[in-house]
Amino acid sequence: MDEETHPRPRKGRGAISNPDGRFEAFRRVAVDDGWARAGADEEEEQDAPGPATTLSPDASRSIIARNDSPDIPFDRSINPYRGCEHGCVYCYARPTHGWLGLSAGLDFETRIFFKPDAARLLRAELSRPGYRPAPIAFGTNTDPYQPAERGLRITRALLELLAEHHHPVTIVTKSALVLRDADILGPMSRRRMARVFLSVTTLDRGLARRLEPRASSPARRLEAIAGLAAAGVDVGVMAAPLIPALTDHELEPLLEAAARAGARSAGYTMLRLPHEVKDLFREWLEAHEPLKAARVLARVARMRGGALNDPRFGSRIVGEGEEATLVARRFRLACERLGLGGERRPLDASRFRPPAGDPRQLGLF
């Protein structure tokens, strides 16, 4: 009887497999008939090029997403891209590709959808008579500075529009490419209209390359913090996500490195594994950290009420139980020692000036 295949890591990709989405009517199961690896050893398979990235335009008709979640500090956000080429295997946004009929696995990091009309759509929304300004968050689902942004410059066009009309913005990213836009973010930040967080999962370059293969290296992210701070940007660090038994021991060194680089504030999130992500992450552990796999998952479950995901407001961000309480105490003490725990002044939305009406619309007189 044939056995199910055990896919191996792909060079430059976080997910190992590409399972069907949870909304699909059928499931495809690959089996190994012995021919797939004939004449090729394991090292050759791992070095084989991974699937290529494809970019496709997204036909969204609106650009600002709203939420009323009580445990996050913003009520609106913008995601210029669907999917993310950074390939972070633990990413909680992976299941959103299921709504497109695609996989949360390799599809999520290889089939990227971009919003070419993002700036035009944002201008239209800011122009509405009933619009009330408040900080818009970038990077809440997929990274606004993933590799495609280098050429497409959609995030930069959005920032140029927000700066022109004095609208506050916050950014979370794992990419040093954010430093490109310091010329916009610096002046905005000095007027209390911009704040940036670099998300750093680990200081271990090798581990980062396997966990989040196409994100900037940890050292480059720390350099971006330093560069943004030098440009006058209010910049902080997110230790996100902390992975029990894999990266959580790095919490204090990570915060210390960020503080030395110029971070002024900090936050953290605890790993959670919703929907398909739990199986993708388990597969990753078995391939890359087999001796730690059972321990990592057991500790995640202890912080998530016995499950690998807890969607409840409040506990979903930092977990619950004795271990989660201990991590929260460690974080608080480290921030106090490093000067990262101070109150952040709210961003200023009072200077907002709405765009003029649609330039294609003729006036009455």
Q: Whole-angstrom Cα distance, residue 231 to residue 87?
A: 29
CATH 3.80.30.30 holds for 69-338 = yes
Map 117-172 to HEC letters: CHHHHHHHHHHCCCCCCCCEEECCCCCCCCCCHHHHCHHHHHHHHHHHCCCCEEEE
Q: Whole-angstrom Cα distance, residue 284 to residue 14?
A: 8
DSSP state of 247: T
Answer whether residue 19 shows pLDDT above 90: no
DSSP state of 332: H
Instruction: Kindly list the domain boundaries of the chain, sorted by start residue.
Output: 69-338
Rounded to the nearest 10°, the torsion over CA 261, 266, 272, 273 is: -40
pLDDT score recorded for residue 165: 98
First to last CA, the chain: 81
pLDDT score recorded for residue 341: 75
Residue 84, amino acid: C
Prediction pTM value = 0.90
Segment among 80-94, 182-196, 346-360 with least mean pLDDT: 346-360
Provide the sign of the torsion angle of the four alpha carbons 281, 287, 288, 291, taken in this order.
positive
SS3 label, residue 198: strand
Segment among 51-55, 179-183, 237-241, 340-344 with least mean pLDDT: 340-344
pLDDT score recorded for residue 49: 62
Residue 331: C-alpha distances to residues 174, 270, 334 (Å) = 20, 12, 5
Which of the four pLDDT bands, split at 50, 70 and 90, describes residue 324?
very high
Which of the four pLDDT bands, split at 50, 70 and 90, describes residue 3?
very low
